[in-house]
Structures are given as C-alpha cells and as structure tokens.
Amino acid sequence: MSAQPSLPTISETNHLSLEAFTKVISLLFEPTALLTQRIYDARPFEGYDKLLDKASQLIKELSPLEQLEVVNAHPRIGEKAKNLSALSRIEQGKASANEEAVLAKWAELNRRYEDRYGFRFVVFVNGRSKESLFPIVEERIAHGNRNKELVTGLSEMVDIARDRARKLEAASASCPAPRF
C-alpha cells in the first residue's frame, strides 16, 4: 500500500518547473492543464491558502467552455477505482455491503445529471457515504438551473482542493515531502 502523498513547501512549489508544478496541483485538483497553467503563471504564493484563493478567482474568470473543461476533469462519484486518483479513491470511501446497487444507482444519477446539464456532478464528499449523497444529486438535478449548477460544481472543486491541501500539509509536516 502506498503512503499518502505530501506537499512540498509553498516556497519550493513556487520554484518548480511546470512539469513538477503540475504534479503538485494534480494532488489538489484533478489534472487539468488549463487550470494548472493559469495557477503556474500567477506565482508566487505566500501559502497554499493563497494559491487556492487565486485558483478560485481564476476559475471564475475562465470562459464557460473553459469552466466545463475544468469541471469535467473531476471524476464521477461511483466511478471505477482504476479511473480515480489516489485521493479520490480515499475520499469516495470503502465499498458498502450493497456496493453493486449503489454504483448502478450512481451510474444512472450521473447519466441524468450530465444529460440535464452537460457536465459532471461534483460535490465535496467530505467522508459521507455514496448513498448519503443521493438526495443531494437528486435535488440538484431537479432544480434545473445550469448556470447555478456550474458555479456550485466549480466551488465544490475548490472546497475539495482546500481540504486536500489541509490534509496534505498536515501529512507533510510529519514527514518530508518528495522532491518533484
């Protein structure tokens, strides 16, 4: 079993090559070259909190098409584990006793959501079970406001990144970060 990744210091991150910086940003956000390049171009940052504040601002400044690219980089809830990043696998939790039925329902809900809005459903799972999120996605499908939904999904992505940064910084404080 591999250890949880850790973050280099923000000072180190500010001086990384684009390739190495991409690996760091991909720990916080699911990989997206567009967002990574924009964040890279906005360096230096005083801390990961400031980096994420800037990322949030940059996301809001993207064109609608670019915002779709960013939100669609996020994995679907209930996606096969092989298609998830290591952190997404952890965040989506362990299999439940009725996992097959839960995953089938997620496949249906993801299809309905994507048919309605044209992009992926994103929610900050925050340790909740996949089943407990059913009412949230059903409510978000029902309200039907595409613009509101895109803003919500992008905001949830930043919340996920903030949580990851907090956890990874704590892990980095207890063990040295890998060299990128």
pLDDT digits (tens, 9 = 90+) for 27-76: 999 889 999 999 999 999 999 999 999 999 999 999 999 999 999 999 99
Q: What is the DSSP letter of 98?
A: T
| Predicted structure pTM score | 0.86
| pLDDT surpassing 60 at residue 88 | no
Using 50, 70 and 90 to split pLDDT, how confident is the model at 152?
very high
The closest of 67, 52, 62, 161 to 120, measured between CA atoms, is: 67
Q: Are 122 and 156 in contact (CB under 8 A)?
A: yes
Per-residue pLDDT at 11: 97
Distances 121 to 53, 55, 77, 144, 157 between C-alpha atoms, Å = 22, 20, 8, 13, 10
Per-residue pLDDT at 178: 53
**C-alpha of 155 from chain center:** 10
Cα 34 to Cα 163: distance, rounded to the nearest angstrom: 22
Using 50, 70 and 90 to split pLDDT, how confident is the model at 84?
very low
The closest of 114, 103, 123, 160 to 141, measured between CA atoms, is: 114
Using 50, 70 and 90 to split pLDDT, how confident is the model at 175?
low
Q: Cβ neighbours of residue 153 under 8 Å, at least 6 residues apart? A: 71, 74, 119, 120, 121, 122
- For the stretch 125-140, pLDDT in tens is 888 888 999 999 999 9
